[in-house]
Amino acid sequence: MTRKLHTTIAAGLMALVASVATAQAETTVKFWHSFNNASGEALDKIIANFEAANPDIDVEGEFVGDYNDIVAKLQAAIPANRAPDAVILEVTRYGLFADGGVLADLTPYFDADPLKNDLYDYARQLGVIGDKTFVVPFNSSTPVLYYNKDVFARAGITGEPSLKSFDEILTAAETITEKLGSEGITGIAAPGQFARWGLVMANGSELVDPISGEILLDAPKTIEAYQWMASLVSDHKVASADGVTDEDAGRDAFLAGKVGIMFNSTGNYVGSRKALGDNLGVLPMPCTETCSVPIGGAGVGILATSPKDVQDAAYKFISYAASPEANAIWFAATGYLPINKHTVEQPIAAEALATQPGIDVAINSLPFAHGRARTPVVTWMRTTENKMWEAMALGQGDVETTMKDFATQTRAEEARTK
């Protein structure tokens, strides 16, 4: 056989392999998400399992930053025709894109999907605005109270502490700071935005009414909650100012054993458990005025500009991602809430519940969990709230005055964008 014939055969084989590969991955779904490290690895596994069962679909997952980064990059990508086909959107922010016609209405897909009946009620409700479904939930969470058992014991607080009210939490934080402050240990991490929303709800109020959309930033109980939160830093000095300007700083200090108490998402459970081991304690959020916690996390939406065959493939993937098999992988790897009623029946989920104490605290909080407002102004409000919080917590602005001004600005922004 001549070299020329060898070359011809080899070229033919290469073309055949290429055509088979093309046939096996007929549709590509470009998917933006906000997960890296351990959660990113869990998502990669879910994508790989889906692609193995659906060789005609290629899901190109891309980490593009946190929830805020996704909003900003999506806003920039849309006019430049560089938007993805599917995207993770935080549950209070997707309304901005649904209202603008950016997201496809998934109602026809969702109503015909048997998955609909398998999701918990709260999970089904998260993607709905009006009578349309715009996202299918993927990662859902509530805030919980994490504490370091070793820090508590060294501060003389023995047994499981009672941290059910603002007063009890402040007392514990003051004791820890007083006893262990010389070692660089503070009582509590400054609460991040998700926790701040939860602490307002625990005080019997809201930032924006989830039903009517009424702005409640200047409601007396909202102001009272912010006064307490800011006092942790500015008055009582039981929380470091570092965690005010950088939420991750407070979390990282807790994981390093330098903070006694942290309010954070249940999605931080696995990382906290890895860092602290058996010293990790998990309790529900306080019930100062009422037991009420916000539902957080994100869902997956599909861009209305994507071709119909790509939208079909993207929905097939996000439906699989909410299945018991995929959701169990996610729950066990991260601590995020089960969204599917059958998730806990999966062996990997059952093992996590049996071997990871505290991973069920958020699940037990679901009877008191509520969805939050997702009107378009909420995205603006959440971005602006960070600046307002910094001013209040760092003592640069009176809380009541700042919150009233914030409410006025938010109402003006809402009127401007209507």
Mind listing the pLDDT tens digit for each residue in 193-214?
A: 999 999 999 999 999 999 999 9
pLDDT at 230 > cutoff 50 = yes
pLDDT of the residue at 15 = 41
Domain ranges of the chain: 27-140+296-370, 143-294+377-417
pLDDT, tens digit, 9 for 90 and up, residues 251-303: 999 999 999 999 999 999 999 999 999 999 999 999 999 999 999 999 999 99
pLDDT of the residue at 418 = 77
pLDDT of the residue at 398 = 97
Tell me which architecture the domain covering 27-140+296-370 has in CATH.
3-Layer(aba) Sandwich (3.40)
| Dist CA 49 CA 272 (whole Å) | 27
pLDDT of the residue at 55 = 96
DSSP secondary structure string, 126-190?
HTEETTEE--EEEEEE-EEEEEEHHHHHHTT--SS----SHHHHHHHHHHHHHHHGGGT-EEEPP
Angle between helix axes 269-276 and 247-255 (nearest 10 degrees) is 40
Q: Average of pLDDT values for 345-355?
A: 96
pLDDT of the residue at 177 = 98
351 contact partners, CB below 8 Å, separation of at least 6: 332
Q: Average of pLDDT values for 75-98?
A: 96
Q: Average of pLDDT values for 214-243?
A: 98
pLDDT at 23 > cutoff 60 = no
pLDDT, tens digit, 9 for 90 and up, residues 3-18: 343 434 344 434 433 4
DSSP secondary structure string, 377-404?
HHHHHHHHHHHHHHHHHTTSS-HHHHHH
pTM exceeding the 0.75 threshold for the entire prediction: yes
pLDDT of the residue at 242 = 95
CB atoms < 10 A from the CB of 299, how many? Answer: 26
Q: Average of pLDDT values for 357-361?
A: 95
pLDDT at 132 > cutoff 90 = yes
Two structure tokens written together for 102 = 């950016």
pLDDT of the residue at 25 = 61
pLDDT at 1 > cutoff 70 = no
pLDDT of the residue at 70 = 97
Q: Which amino acid is at 100?
A: G
First vs last C-alpha separation in the chain:
76
| Dist CA 207 CA 384 (whole Å) | 13
Confidence of residue 22 (pLDDT cuts 50, 70, 90): very low
pLDDT at 38 > cutoff 80 = yes
pLDDT at 74 > cutoff 90 = yes
pLDDT of the residue at 417 = 85
* Whether the domain at 27-140+296-370 and the domain at 143-294+377-417 fall into the same CATH topology: yes
| Average pLDDT value for the chain | 93
pLDDT of the residue at 3 = 39
pLDDT at 2 > cutoff 50 = no
Percent of the chain exceeding pLDDT 90 equals 93
Task: Kindly tell me the burial class for residue 312, based on how many C-beta atoms sit within 10 Å of its own C-beta (0-12, 13-18, 19 or more).
Answer: middle
pLDDT of the residue at 24 = 53
Structural fold of domain 143-294+377-417:
D-Maltodextrin-Binding Protein; domain 2 (3.40.190)
